[in-house]
């Protein structure tokens, strides 16, 4: 079958980018909508920071596990239909969460939401890898990731504002309404797959497919990098609210919500670093992006509020660039069954979110912000080491291929 890849600058390219931008926006606005509310959950439900973080961690765990299944289902039912079910279903669950009578019910609904959310993130990357020309993939993936960053930012800011004005229940309800609107536009403008080849539904082959990817050392290195990147990112944003709402800052919920406007830096860095990677190579730019994250988190250790905010901004800039590069790298590295490869990357990515985000609560309780900084720094150093090993692997493979020729 002849493949028809979408070129940068065409009308179809713009439609794909807008649709997946909205998809990423709605997905991450819902996924992280409880993150700014953790201090409020601690007070209202009388629970520790570690337990409050479960409102986010259980969602990312469910998302990570069911993305593995969603990727296989999309091989049979199609990329676009699965993403539509994910977006609409997530919006409807978001409308139910404000009715939760206690924290236990809220957590249960967040688990269901994580399961439904799984349909879009893994499949979106596979869709782009199949439909967009390789020379334009870095830019397209960067734009999709920028939708993630803006969704995460807007969701957190709106949650803070609506919570300050009315209540956290009204705030989450409004996120659900906005997501429903995004879903309608998504269904209308996203082109159907042209290069997708439908396969029979055979979940029995899922584990063999996953094991095939896990035998590729290059992919495993990328999975570990994703784990470390997301684990460090969520840990910082889970507990920065506790720090800023306590002495000596004593900021209120609405002001803390506006801290997330820093996500705009991620919107720029994901597309900019995608272009740099297309030009200079992913290995060099990936290493630089992680170093930027490390510098940012170390700056947050200082006490002046403006320095804390600058550090968060630098950290965020590096994160979205690094994640954009790693996620697009998976699509290029996997020569077959790209949906499963993307799902595996995101499984490790969100596993890092859950494990890092919750374990960070113990460090916060025991050592305050310094414990968080040390934990994140260790994770980023590990990511740097793995990036160096990945570079060495590629150099070895390139040498071997040149000798064969």
User: Domain limits of the chain?
Assistant: 11-191+205-404
Q: How far apart are CA 338 and CA 398, in angstroms?
A: 22
Residue length, the chain?
405
**What does the block give as tokens for 35?**
């993150």
**Distance set, CA 284 to CA 291, 298, 299, 384, 388 (Å):** 11, 22, 23, 11, 10
Per-10-residue mean pLDDT of the chain, 405 residues long, equals: 75 90 91 90 91 94 87 81 94 95 95 93 82 80 77 83 89 95 94 78 70 90 96 94 91 83 78 80 87 97 94 94 87 75 85 92 93 97 94 80 52
Which H or E run includes 341? helix 338-404
pLDDT of residue 405: 47
User: Mapping DSSP to helix (H, G, I), strand (E, B) and coil, where does residue 6 land?
Assistant: strand
User: Which is nearest to 315 in space by CA: 384, 376, 394?
Assistant: 376
Residues in contact with 145: Cβ distance below 8 Å, sequence separation at least 6, in sequence order: 24, 266, 270, 320, 323, 324, 327
Q: So what CATH class is 11-191+205-404?
A: mainly alpha
> What's the gap between Cα 142 and its chain centre?
12
- What does the pLDDT look like over 328-356, one tens digit per residue? 888 778 777 776 787 788 889 989 999 99
Q: How far apart are CA 132 and CA 140, in angstroms?
A: 8
pLDDT of residue 197: 75
pLDDT of residue 4: 75
**Distance set, CA 8 to CA 17, 79, 145, 147, 161 (Å):** 10, 21, 17, 18, 37
Cβ atoms of 103 and 241 within 8 Å: the answer is no
Residues in contact with 256: Cβ distance below 8 Å, sequence separation at least 6, in sequence order: 36, 160, 240, 241, 244, 245
pLDDT of residue 253: 78
Neighbouring C-beta atoms of residue 188, cutoff 10 Å: 9
pLDDT of residue 1: 52
Q: How far apart are CA 169 and CA 114, in angstroms?
A: 18
Residue with the two structure tokens 């020729």: 405
pLDDT of residue 249: 92
- What does the pLDDT look like over 292-335, one tens digit per residue? 999 999 999 999 999 999 999 999 999 989 998 898 888 778 77
């Amino acid at each position: 079958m002849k493949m028809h890849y979408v070129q940068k600058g065409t009308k179809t390219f713009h439609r794909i980018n807008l649709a997946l931008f909205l998809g990423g926006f709605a997905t991450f606005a819902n996924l992280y909508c409880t993150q700014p509310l953790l201090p409020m959950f601690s007070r209202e439900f009388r629970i520790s920071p570690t337990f409050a973080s479960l409102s986010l961690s259980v969602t990312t765990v469910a998302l990570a596990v069911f993305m593995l299944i969603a990727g296989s289902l999309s091989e049979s039912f199609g990329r676009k239909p699965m993403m539509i079910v994910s977006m609409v279903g997530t919006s409807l669950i978001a409308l139910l969460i404000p009715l939760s009578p206690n924290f236990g019910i809220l957590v249960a609904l967040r688990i269901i939401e994580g399961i439904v959310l799984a349909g879009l993130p893994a499949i979106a990357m596979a869709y782009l890898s199949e439909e967009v020309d390789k020379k334009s993939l870095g830019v397209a993936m960067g734009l999709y990731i920028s939708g993630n960053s803006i969704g995460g930012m807007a969701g957190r800011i709106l949650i803070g504002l609506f919570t300050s004005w009315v209540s956290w229940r009204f705030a989450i309800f409004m996120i659900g309404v906005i997501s429903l609107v995004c879903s309608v536009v998504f269904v209308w403008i996203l082109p159907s797959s042209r290069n997708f080849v439908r396969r029979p539904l055979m979940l029995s082959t899922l584990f063999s497919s996953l094991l095939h990817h896990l035998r590729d050392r290059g992919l495993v290195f990328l999975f570990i990098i994703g784990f470390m990147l997301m684990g460090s990112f969520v840990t910082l944003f889970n507990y920065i609210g506790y720090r800023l709402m306590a002495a000596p800052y004593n900021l209120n919920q609405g002001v803390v919500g506006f801290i997330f406007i820093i996500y705009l830096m991620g919107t720029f860095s994901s597309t900019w670093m995608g272009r740099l990677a297309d030009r200079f190579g992913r290995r060099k730019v990936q290493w630089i992006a992680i170093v930027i994250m490390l510098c940012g988190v170390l700056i947050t250790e200082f006490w002046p509020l403006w320095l804390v905010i600058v550090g968060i901004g630098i950290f965020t800039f590096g994160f979205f660039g690094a994640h954009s590069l790693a996620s697009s790298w998976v699509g290029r590295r996997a020569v077959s069954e790209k949906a499963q490869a993307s799902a595996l990357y995101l499984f490790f990515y969100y596993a890092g979110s859950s494990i890092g985000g919750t374990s960070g609560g113990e460090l916060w309780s025991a050592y305050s912000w310094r414990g968080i900084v040390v934990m994140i720094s260790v994770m980023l150093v590990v990511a740097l080491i793995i990036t160096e090993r990945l570079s060495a692997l590629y150099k070895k493979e390139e040498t071997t291929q040149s000798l064969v020729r």
